[in-house]
Amino acid sequence: MAVLGRGEGHGGISILHALGAGYGSAASISLSTRVQLRDTPVKKEPDDSHGLIPAVVETWSGAGYPMPESEELHWAIRSDLPIGRGLKSSAALAVACIRALADATETSLENHQIVDLASSAQLACGCSFTGSVDDSWSAVEPGWKVVDPSRPAADGVLMQGQIEKPEDWVILILNRGPREIQPDPERFQAAAGQFQQAISAVEQEQIFNAMIQNGRAVASALGDVQGRKACNDMGILGCRVSTITGSGPSIALLLPANQESSIRRVHQTLKPRDWEIIETRFRSSEA
């Protein structure tokens, strides 16, 4: 058994939901998906209900890139990201697979090329309405970007930056379980006025405020009353940000790293709800 190539893609939390705001934005986090491309079967087949991996391979080949010199291709995947929770797991997987294919074929790609391939694959398999260009950027690079999903990745970045002093913040991800409320594009577009508040905050580079406003708009678009209430409750406990990320259902909490009592209080408050709590940080470098 030989490992032909390796790749990694990172998760993210939402700043702007492209379906409602028209522009997409996400901040990269340290949680990641790691892939090995092998020439023999793996013990555990990937959980890929959308068929994203075949879509990546087809997109790669269709773009004219060389295929690995192997009769069979098999994928071994390890991930910190729960699937279908709004943490950009699809973009992370697509980027990791593309990087593994590039590694296996000694193909050199610019980051914007990786983003375009990942977005095309996500559209092709139907796991994204917009192509998740912002998600793919967060999977590839640290920091945050505001993107126009209708334009090629190389031309579509409208704003970008880094989270100031990322080491000062702890992110708690509240995994509320599988997605029960599916996003409806019409409802997101109907909430455009609320998303405009998030856009205005981004224009002033008030990224944390944009996260909050975006989460409120997403809760309205989804009709997620429980999520909106949970975000409000967490704000009372001292969270700087409490927001629904992606199309939910996960809630991302942002707390100062030096406020251990607040972090402990959040854990104690949430214990009866039996939600998984995943701790992470903003990704501030390529490492």
pLDDT (tens digit, 9 = 90+) per residue, 229-243?
999 999 899 899 999
Q: Is the pLDDT of residue 45 over 90?
A: no
Spatial contact of 15 and 210, defined as CB atoms under 8 Å apart: yes
CA 250, CA 2: separation in Å to the nearest integer?
37
Q: One-letter amino acid identity for 261?
A: S
**For position 285, what pLDDT does the model report?**
75
Query: In the predicted model, what is the mean pLDDT of the chain?
Result: 95
Q: What is the pLDDT of residues 130-148, one digit of tens each?
A: 889 999 999 999 999 999 9
Q: 187-215 b/e with 16+ CB inside 10 Å = b?
A: ebeebeebbebbbebbeeeebbbbbbbbb
The CATH architecture of the domain made up of 166-280 is 2-Layer Sandwich (3.30)
Pick the CATH number of 3-161 from 3.30.420.40, 2.40.50.140, 3.30.230.10, 3.40.1160.10: 3.30.230.10
Query: Domain map of the chain by residue range?
Result: 3-161, 166-280
Q: Is the pLDDT of residue 284 over 90?
A: no
Q: How confident is the model at residue 181 (pLDDT cuts 50, 70, 90)?
A: confident
* Region 64-83 average pLDDT: 95
